[in-house]
Chain A
Amino acid sequence: MTIILTGLGVGLFADAYQRLLAESFRERSASYAQAFAEGAKRWIESGDLEMLRQAAQFLLVGSALYVQVESEGTLIIDERAAAVEIEPEPAGAARSITDASLPNGKPYLDIIIPLVDEDGSPSGYVSIGIDKSSVIAEARGVLLLSAAGGLGFDILLIGVLGWALLGRMRAREPIGAEKPPRYIEAGPLRIDPVRKEVTVGGRPVRLTPKQFALLRLLASEPGRVFSEEEILKAVWPDSAYADSKDIKQYVYLLRRRLGEASPEGRGLIVTVAGFGYRIADRSVEEDLTGK
């Protein structure tokens, strides 16, 4: 959406600028021709045609493609840039600015400025062709610059948005946060949730999925008492028939398996009468008892 809006903005800007450029070029070209016509009139009056010819040649060094001066029905100056091969058509004494192009496609402005006598009667005209290539090239340059600017703006915008998004994502992860530990450990008990392996004092304990789920729950927060309701919800989430008897049975089986595997496994699961079960957090308990 932003890219479309940017493209639209760039297009409108480039179009407006091109129009402004073309209009300004047209006005300046007309003033240029008018200035030459003023000079031409004086040189014709003083009969200094050599100066008129020199002035016309001066114009041809720049954007002027041809300069013609007609006086009293006679073409007294007909100077052209070497590349121009066409014969500009005299269009009478009327002032005009016409868009035209050479046979090779080069665009130009054909400007005709009438010359008038002291009494105001027409005496001839000045006709000048002004090459439009430079202004068209400038307009293209502006268009390209605008497009590049628009594209740059889009890229910048995407970059800024991406950066902001990345920053936001990073903000959710506290800096320096470590990955969760692979093992759940509580005293001699070590559970690998990925491999579904349990060891007590370094010895493996073989458990069924339900036994594993129960032990994992209790070991997730060593020392915390889990109520029967919490255990049922976590270990038998889809069973409407499981109850406290099942919990007792599984706790019994777990204690047995853990004790069989290692003496350290005995007494690992503690019953808290009236509340539920917990894993003995021996490190804490040892600290408290001073052992």
Chain B
Amino acid sequence: MVKNRSAVGIAAIALFSLIVIACSAAAADQGDGTPSLEAQLISFASELRLGLSLAAFAAYSPTILDLRLHAQQLINLIEGADGPHYVRPTESSDEPVGLLVEVTGWLRQIPDRPLPPDKKERLLVAAKNVLIFLDLARDAALSLLDERRMDRAKEGMFEVYACLAAAYEPPCGTAYVPGLWTILDAFGLTDRGEEPHS
């Protein structure tokens, strides 16, 4: 019982922290009630990390059924509730917007941002790359929905993971394909202590 109370307390603090972070990120409100691009990017990065975690869980699933379920969860996360391959979970209240939908939104918003043209161009390239990698990840996940062999399914899920990781673009100090990290960095949102590309 004591533990439960503590858990509720921690959860409340965490929720409050999230609200504070969200509010500060949305400080540059666009006026029409939609979150700012910065707030969207923070939320997107968090969802993409969740997708990466989900792909990692899936790759180590104890059964092929678990792996397929996680593959469907990933497709839901990537495509969103309006996606052609979205399957509504039986017990879920939140319907995801979809990572692909969010990136498509940036592609419309970035040209309107007051940024130097070269930087704007760089961000558009990065956003398109994110879109491509997410598309590849979605296709790879779709191919696993009917897979019956565990070894093949696991390999396929590593492919999904690799595509999502590429979309996230973890800095690796070498020639790279710009992705989410480049965009986060452009808006000063990289708070994970990662070193930028050299």
Contact = CB atoms under 8 A, between A and B. Distances in A.
A279 B59 CA distance: 96
Interface in B4-36: 4, 6-7, 9-11, 14-15, 17-18
Interface stretch (B50-58, B97-105, B124-132, B172-180): B50-58
Contacts of B66: 32, 62-63
B73 interface: yes
A28 B6 CA distance: 32
Interface stretch (A51-59, A187-195, A262-270): A51-59
B65 A31 contact: no
Contacts of A58: 54, 57, 70, 73
A49 B11 contact: yes
Given A39-B56, A49-B10, A134 B70 contact: no
B162 to A, nearest CB: 16
B69 interface: yes
A75 B5 CA distance: 9
The main secondary structure of chain B at its interface with chain A is helix
- Chain B contact-residue range equals 20 to 34
A99 to B, nearest CB: 14
Contacts of A38: 56
A74 B46 CA distance: 24
A29 B62 contact: yes
A62 B70 contact: yes
B197 to A, nearest CB: 22
B190 interface: no
Contact of B4 (A35, A59, A63, A75): A75
Contacts of B17: 47
Contact of A32 (B49, B61, B192): B61
Contacts of A36: 53, 57
A47 B14 contact: yes
Contact of A78 (B7, B9, B14): B7
Interface string A43-76: 0001111110011001101110000001101111
A71 B50 CA distance: 20
B196 interface: no
Interface of B: 3-4, 6-7, 9-11, 14-15, 17-18, 46, 49-50, 53-54, 56-57, 59-63, 65-66, 69-70, 73, 89, 91, 192
Given A25-B63, A61-B73, 8 more contacts: A28-B62, A36-B53, A51-B49, A51-B50, A62-B65, A62-B66, A74-B3, A76-B11
